[in-house]
């Protein structure tokens, strides 16, 4: 069996499916810090509801999410049309809003930076359904 990694899968409105490797994104932030910007983003109940609707926010994981990790920045990918996709941080957004917090920091980068962190879905076997899942590279 191959390497296990956390993957966020997303389908664009045109049907394009991308599988973002969260460990690869984190490594890119560490090794290419000048290509990423840390930005504070306003969050509110409507945003948290949209995140719940579009992402696989698991109630058990949300309940168990440690408060000590709430201040860790999320990761968001900026597309050429300037739309932004939250790839890491969905549970933090929902939990922060529930605690009355109104902002969250995100590492953000353009497609030229994050595109190297998209993995081929054909060799990933999902261990859990939903947009965020742990996958085994076959």
Instruction: List, for residues 28-54, the tens digit of each pLDDT value.
Output: 999 999 999 999 999 999 999 999 988
Structural domain count, the chain: 1
Residue of 52, 96, 104 lying closest to 75 (CA atoms): 104
Q: H-helix or E-strand containing 98? A: helix 90-98
Give me 75's structure tokens. Answer: 């990761």
pLDDT at 122: 66
Instruction: Please give the helix or strand (H or E) that residue 48 lies within, else none.
Output: helix 45-54
Q: What tokens appear for 30 in the block?
A: 């560490």
Q: Out of 17-21, 32-36, 109-113, pick the least confident.
A: 17-21
CA 102, 40, 47, 53 dihedral sign is: negative
Do residues 58 and 95 make contact, with C-beta atoms less than 8 angstroms apart? Answer: no
Q: Which domain holds residue 132?
A: 4-137
Q: Higher pLDDT residue, 134 or 61?
A: 61
Burial (0-12, 13-18, 19+ Cβ within 10 Å), 136:
middle
Q: What's the angle, vertex CA 24, arms to CA 19 and CA 27, rounded to 5? A: 160
């Amino acid at each position: 069996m191959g390497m296990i990694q956390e993957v966020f899968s997303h389908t664009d409105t045109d049907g394009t499916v991308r599988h973002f490797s969260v460990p690869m994104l984190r490594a890119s932030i560490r090794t290419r810090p000048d290509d990423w910007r840390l930005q504070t983003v306003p969050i509110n109940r409507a945003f948290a509801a949209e995140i719940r609707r579009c992402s696989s926010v698991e109630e058990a994981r949300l309940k168990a999410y440690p408060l000590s990790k709430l201040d860790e920045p999320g990761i968001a990918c900026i597309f050429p049309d300037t739309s932004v996709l939250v790839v890491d941080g969905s549970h933090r957004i929902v939990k922060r809003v529930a605690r009355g917090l109104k902002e969250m920091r995100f590492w953000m980068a353009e497609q030229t930076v994050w595109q190297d962190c998209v993995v081929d879905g054909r060799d990933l076997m999902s261990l859990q359904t939903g947009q965020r899942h742990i996958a085994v590279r076959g």
